[in-house]
Structure 1
Amino acid sequence: MHGGGFAFGDLDMPEADAVARGLAAAGTTVFSVDYRLAPVPPTWDGADQQTDDRSGNRYPAASDDVLRAWEWATSHAEELGVTRLAIGGASAGANLATGATLRLLGADGILPRLVVLAYPTLLAVQPAPGPALRAALAAHPEHDRFGADVVRDMYENYLGGSVIGAPIAAVPGLASATELRGFPPTLMINSEIDELSVSGDVFAATLREAGGDVEVVVEPGTDHGHLNRPEHPGFAASMARIAQRFAGLAAS
């Protein structure tokens, strides 16, 4: 699933289209999934791009769309010759992949064999970055785009209200180790200069506490959204990591 702060993005953006085409070329069957977008607040950049009525598209609309796509994929897997299913996304799409998996886990549904998360956003109230990331952001202020207020506003728009008491399927970083027990093996690829990586680190730590299998990679020389830049060396590096995990999954 593509990203876009839950309010932007489509299947034509590179982190959906180029990623899907690249994985398909490597022999993976890909279902590229779109989802309902939340309204764009009038104070946000790009508000003039919204021409459709999205008033009903708050959580769980996008999550429901992802679950419906997953249920379709699992019910048609045999006829398509697919024996092992994974789920994944980038940024807000990674949030949706994680949240859908948590919903499946809680409902004893069919779980993915692998979860792939590219530079995920998983917390609405984001901890402060550590010294190394703070220094990197200070050295590259053009990449300092996801401060605490920006992230909280994004989630409040997605939820349609306060982030207090939000369900873990909407804010997966809130999940406890108990709630993550049984979560599938996970590959997380964080961008090197990305404040959102803090939320991924929190989720990965809790997943490890739950006994989960999680591999966290920081892609060198990248900032948030590097899968939207196929010309960047980080795109090819991340694609190779994902393809390698898929190859291992197919051989298992």
Structure 2
Amino acid sequence: MNPLFRAVLSLFAAPRVNMREDYEKVRRRQRRLAALPAPRYQASDWQVPSDDGDHRVPARIFSPKKRLRDDVLVFFHGGGWVTGDIESYTPACATMADLTGCTVISVDYRLAPEHPFPAGLQDCFDVARLLLEKPWLAGAPDASKIVLVGDSAGGNLAAVVSLLLRERGQRGATRQIRLYPVAHWDHDPASSPFASVRNHGEDYRLTNAEVQDYFELYVPDPEKRRDRLVAPLMAEDLSGQPRTLLITAELDLLRDEGEAYGRALEAAGNAVQVHRVDGALHGFIALPRFSRSLREAYEVINAFLGDTAAEHPSPQGLP
């Protein structure tokens, strides 16, 4: 990479905060940023009963300005299982609804460290299971129209939810979209098997230290971090998974593990499409709509969802 370009990109590196101590400050900052300026969107809030009946999982339903298809995108947000929520992801979900023409349901799963693994995973599983069993609750004509989507830690949760649905013999999604997902447990540049951890773990949007903090908050027991329900790349059986679109970012430390997971899914007999967005940083799904990285990703997403230029306008043609 051009040294000058590298220096400029380093300005966008993640803040050097101790996530283990400052996660509450990060949450508040994310909400403030998401509210400036206030996004225009059509949405309604919903409460999904948990499977054990002891709490309800909040969700926000985003309607597109123009509905182009019957698919319902069930979205699990990123933030290292520690930050992120309905409010901070509202701009991204409103954009997702408009640029795909789909209803988007954003799941406000419980966060660590207040609720460590597997609390957040269980919330995502409960919502996905309910909507796949009763798709009409989401306004979908049938379960084939329920698409699991997640970015970063949310992409990890989408992967694990799909594994659990198959393992428990329950109806699974037919399609899933994972954006720069967490798939492995080791992000130490000295021991990680992935070059992107060494090449992109210090200077850009997400750092090795930040990922390590997230893991320590989400899964305090180091041995459990190798479990397939935390690091799905460790799963011994990846058969029977939904048709998958996996999008990675070139300058993201998670790039190689995400692409490795895509290859592992394909080797297990699943239909997989992997697309790398060149020049993109981690978290680009939250960028403004004029972002090249965002536009490229939605071109690929719309094609995956069955969109064609003859039937619907391209993302560039949407407001």
Partner Cα separation in structure 1 for residue 151 and residue 265 of structure 2? 19
The partner residue of 1:104 within 160, 165, 180 is 165
Question: Within the alignment, does 1:64 sit opposite 2:122 as a pair?
Answer: yes
Query: Residue 292 of structure 2 aligns with which residue?
Result: 233
Q: Deviations over 1:196-251 (max 9, x none)?
A: 11211221222122112111111122110011112421112112211221235xx9
The 5 A counterparts of 1:114-133 are 114-126=175-187, 127-130=192-195
Segments of structure 2 that go 5 or more residues without pairing to the other structure are: 1-75, 312-319
Return the offset for 1:134: 5.6
Q: Secondary structure at the match of 1:123?
A: coil
Q: Secondary structure at the match of 1:73?
A: helix
The partner residue of 2:301 within 215, 228, 242 is 242
Q: TM-score, normalised by structure 2?
A: 0.64
Query: Residue 83 of structure 2 aligns with which residue?
Result: 8
Q: AA paired with 1:240?
A: E
The partner residue of 1:181 within 216, 239, 245 is 239
Query: Residue 70 of structure 2 aligns with which residue?
Result: none
Partner Cα separation in structure 1 for residue 231 and residue 300 of structure 2? 26
Aligned in 2, Cα 1:232/1:133: closer, same or farther, shift over 3 Å? farther
Q: Deviations over 1:69-90 (max 9, x none)?
A: 1123124313524322110100
The partner residue of 2:227 within 157, 167, 170 is 167
Q: TM-score, normalised by structure 1?
A: 0.80
Q: AA paired with 2:304?
A: R
Conserved 8 A contact 2:284-2:294: yes
The structure with the largest helix share of the pair is 1
Partner Cα separation in structure 1 for residue 272 and residue 85 of structure 2? 28
Aligned residues: 226
Q: Secondary structure at the match of 1:212?
A: coil
Greater gyration radius: 2
Partner Cα separation in structure 1 for residue 231 and residue 107 of structure 2? 20
The partner residue of 2:141 within 66, 69, 82 is 82
Conserved 8 A contact 2:140-2:146: no
Q: AA paired with 2:253?
A: E
Partner Cα separation in structure 2 for residue 210 and residue 21 of structure 1? 33
Aligned in 2, Cα 1:21/1:73: closer, same or farther, shift over 3 Å? farther
Q: Deviations over 1:95-144 (max 9, x none)?
A: 111111111010111111111000111111143443x8866x49xx6317
Segments of structure 1 that go 5 or more residues without pairing to the other structure are: 40-53
Aligned in 2, Cα 1:119/1:242: closer, same or farther, shift over 3 Å? same
Question: Within the alignment, does 1:206 sit opposite 2:303 as a pair?
Answer: no
Q: AA paired with 2:230?
A: A
Q: Deviations over 1:43-74 (max 9, x none)?
A: xxxxxxxxxxx1xx111100111011112312
Query: Residue 142 of structure 1 aligns with which residue?
Result: 203
Conserved 8 A contact 1:24-1:30: no
Partner Cα separation in structure 2 for residue 108 and residue 20 of structure 1? 33
Partner Cα separation in structure 1 for residue 132 and residue 197 of structure 2? 39
Question: Within the alignment, does 1:222 sit opposite 2:280 as a pair?
Answer: yes
Conserved 8 A contact 1:5-1:91: yes
RMSD: 2.6
Query: Residue 214 of structure 2 aligns with which residue?
Result: 154
Partner Cα separation in structure 2 for residue 193 and residue 111 of structure 1? 32
